[in-house]
Structure 1
Amino acid sequence: MMDDGIKIKLLRQEEEEEESDLKQRIWVESKKIWRVGLPNIISRICAFGSLVVTQSFIGHISETDLAGYALVQTLSVRFVNGILLGMSSATETLCGQAFGAGQNHMMGIYLQRSWIIDLITLTILLPIFIFGTQIFKLVGEEESIANSGGYISLWFIPYVYNYVFGLAIQMFLQAQLKNMIIAWLSAFQFAIHIPLSLFLVYKLNMGLAGAMISLSLSSWCLVMGEFIYIFGGWCPHSWKGFTVAAFKDLLPVVKLSISSGVMLCLELWYYAILVLLAGYMADAKIAISAFAICLNMNSWEFMISLGLLGSACVRVANELGRGNAKAIKFSIKVLLGTSIAIGVVFFILCLVFGKKLAYLFTDDERVADTISDLSLLLSFSILLNSIYPVLSGVAIGAGMQGVVAIVNFVCFYVIGIPVGALLGYLTTLEVKGIWIGMIFGVLTQTITLGYITWRTDWDDQVKKASERLERFYLHSNENPEQISNES
């Protein structure tokens, strides 16, 4: 018989080998995650940073305009961005699964379909910006804030049209692991936005108009760079030029786009409605400004989580296309571990520097004090931000947007908003009460999405993804010989 000491030694050796193998698998998976996530994070931080920089310039121009800008950015722009981002995420699902299955030529068709659908959608939504003043007055905002918001809404029209092309292109490129170019272009866009704002606002003394012109010009520089990259031949296997096939079989893509749009809109509008509730407080300017600035701080960290959301979507979609259910489960674990670790770091930073960050956006001591009072709640929101976006990304990658839309509606609108309204208006908590309601809604959503992810049969999802790709491919008039097997 084998000596007990030798048995123990062999068992330890096996454990060490398994541990070493696990570390290697985590390292390999992490590289795949960050290959998509890091460029995505950079591009989102820069894009959102441009909005925040503009807010900072306006905040030092006028307190009323700061509140008006906060209303437009948080309500109108978030409303439209939510719809277009959600609808573009259908491109992320389809392109990611097509890339995983080696059907790369279909990706260019999906991109063009997204442009068609998004362009029509945004044009239909334009009255939100054209009649901004009337809408804000209709929902009961102060007249001075409503007038300022309506004026700023008109300046946002050229800006929001960049979403039609930019969002879909980002999904298209990151699905084929080519989104580093977006990070470089986004960094360039942000780099020129700050000096351009300084020049127009202060050098030419254009004030509010200068800040908004700078925002539109810099955002369209990014889109032009993306067009040059795609049309210039850097995507030879996935972009074969414009085709009438993009106008065929639009209905299934519209259905997936709508469910994607509803899923993300219910999430983004949730915060917008909470800002609207803050506008009915006794001191509306202070409440709106403080709440909007806190949301912007929250959103800075959320951009990192959205980057990992993109990683989750791409990894799940790619592995579904390849038919590898086991790899999906492992990737989800690594994604969650990575995102939670980042969330803990920002949780601590927010607790330490909460009030000091407020002065980047305002000179008003009352606004800064209100933000300081919210810093603890803001920290917990940031921590939750590190979990649920990854779970949402998993759902997008699997094409389960419809299920998540129902979850978001119940958790946010049946639970979160009523709780926030009750605590905000029927207690002395006011803005704190609204934020507590927001956290409660996000917490219930996180728990529910976690349970759904845990209970999902990924082998069944592999079959569904295969059927979807086959249906879309067969309905296209493209020749199978044209399909590239790029990996």
Structure 2
Amino acid sequence: MDQILVLFGQDPSISIVAGKYCIWLIFALFGYAVLQALVRYFQTQSLIFPMVISSTVVLVLHIPTCWALVFQLRLKENGAALAIGISYWLNVILLVVYMKYSQACKRTSIVFSTDALLHIKEFFCLAIPSALMVCYNMLAMHFNIPYGIGAAASTRVSNELGAGRPQAARGAVHAVVVIGITEAIVVCSAMFCFRHTLGYAFSDEKEVVDYVADIIPLLCLSVGVDSVLVILCGIVRGSGWQKIGACINLGAYYGVGTPVSVLLAFVLHLRGKGLWIGTLTGASVQAIILGFMTAFTNWEKQAFLARERIFYDAIQAYNGLV
């Protein structure tokens, strides 16, 4: 990792530290992978409360653990990476214990067997395009809010379609879109109203404060587009359109966003703002296309197709067992 960073022009001393940090973070990567599978398992059954409890417990313990590793044991940045891994695995353990002993999970308890390999092809056909749908993560702190709404939309829409309830799926889509737009309006309004003071969160220098105030309108546009886009992506995943969503994502960002970024940043010399506007343009194109797809969707047909896939998978599984 340090050699890769140096290759991209990073300072060698920073690259060495980052390389060590990545090595210590390997422990966390495995925990994160297992945790994500468990989170989806609980989400599909609307078992939100145990996840809230486990996350709260982990958060309370993470702070002193990180402090002890970083300052008391003098592991510095490596201690921070190790603390992340410990927290992920602790969350995994809490959820696994709940799954094993709770009556709510009695009928859906995970059993490890070779039967899971029967559907590995179908899984990757959905997983890979879903990963390609996520290109940029702007405004990470705010991003978690619409991302959570989008995850809820994905779960609810897929469940309703699988149950053969197209009207409920349509209602869920309308609800999450309204929630997402409302949330974006509230956040953007607050940022715009306090644009002349937000800069003091980063620096006391007037030049920095004025620059933050100058880019707040662009920031508000990014918040609005990201809020709607991530929710639409959740709807797309829940509807089983991962391949279409991946193609739209790649086309919007690399076919539209990247050329616009190059033009504005390097030809018109807008520099950082040009790159940002280009990325925003790509996200806007993606949001518009997904919005039209969602608006003109025949949910009765989608429910029929979802049920058809369920029965097909059940038949395939039965044939595999026989």
Query: Normalising by the residue count of structure 2, what TM-score does the alignment of the two structures yield?
Result: 0.89
Partner of 1:237: 107
Partner of 1:256: 126
Q: 1:212 to 1:451 in 2, by over 3 A?
A: same
Q: For the aligned residues, what is the CA RMSD?
A: 2.6
Match of 1:339 among 180, 200, 208: 180
Cα distance in 1, alignment partners of residues 208 and 101 from structure 2: 48
Q: Which moved more, 1:414-423 or 1:139-148?
A: 139-148
1:132-189, Cα deviation, whole Å (9 max, x unpaired): 1222233333434433332222122111112221111111111111122112211222
1:453-477, Cα deviation, whole Å (9 max, x unpaired): 1122212211211111112112224
Partner amino acid, structure 1, of 2:65 = L
- Is 1:207–2:76 an aligned residue pair? yes
Match of 1:186 among 55, 62, 73: 55
Note the 1:468-487 alignment, pairs <5 A.
468-477=309-318
Q: Which runs of 5+ in 1 are unaligned?
A: 1-131, 272-294, 479-487
Q: Which moved more, 1:137-146 or 1:446-455?
A: 137-146
Match of 2:152 among 311, 316, 319: 311
1:10-54, Cα deviation, whole Å (9 max, x unpaired): xxxxxxxxxxxxxxxxxxxxxxxxxxxxxxxxxxxxxxxxxxxxx
Cα distance in 2, alignment partners of residues 246 and 142 from structure 1: 45
Shift of 1:373: 4.7
- Is 1:463–2:304 an aligned residue pair? yes
Note the 1:119-134 alignment, pairs <5 A.
132-134=1-3
1:40-84, Cα deviation, whole Å (9 max, x unpaired): xxxxxxxxxxxxxxxxxxxxxxxxxxxxxxxxxxxxxxxxxxxxx
Query: Normalising by the residue count of structure 1, what TM-score does the alignment of the two structures yield?
Result: 0.60
Q: 1:419 to 1:155 in 2, by over 3 A?
A: farther
Shift of 1:366: 8.2
Partner of 1:227: 96
- Is 1:447–2:288 an aligned residue pair? yes
Cα distance in 1, alignment partners of residues 206 and 90 from structure 2: 36
- Is 1:350–2:191 an aligned residue pair? yes
Match of 2:236 among 389, 392, 395: 395
Shift of 1:367: 7.4
Note the 1:77-156 alignment, pairs <5 A.
132-156=1-25
Shift of 1:317: 0.9
* 8 Å Cα contact 1:309-1:393 kept in structure 2: yes
Partner of 1:410: 251
Shift of 1:412: 1.0
Partner of 1:322: 163
* 8 Å Cα contact 1:170-1:179 kept in structure 2: no
Cα distance in 2, alignment partners of residues 342 and 143 from structure 1: 42
Shift of 1:233: 3.8
1:370-393, Cα deviation, whole Å (9 max, x unpaired): 655543322221122221111111
Partner amino acid, structure 1, of 2:202 = A
SS at match of 2:278: helix
Partner amino acid, structure 1, of 2:127 = S
Cα distance in 2, alignment partners of residues 216 and 229 from structure 1: 20
Identity in percent: 27
Partner of 2:30: 161
Cα distance in 1, alignment partners of residues 225 and 174 from structure 2: 16
Partner of 1:54: none
Cα distance in 1, alignment partners of residues 236 and 265 from structure 2: 32
1:235-267, Cα deviation, whole Å (9 max, x unpaired): 111115323321223222222222222223xx2
Partner amino acid, structure 2, of 1:391 = L
Shift of 1:428: 4.1
Partner amino acid, structure 2, of 1:435 = W
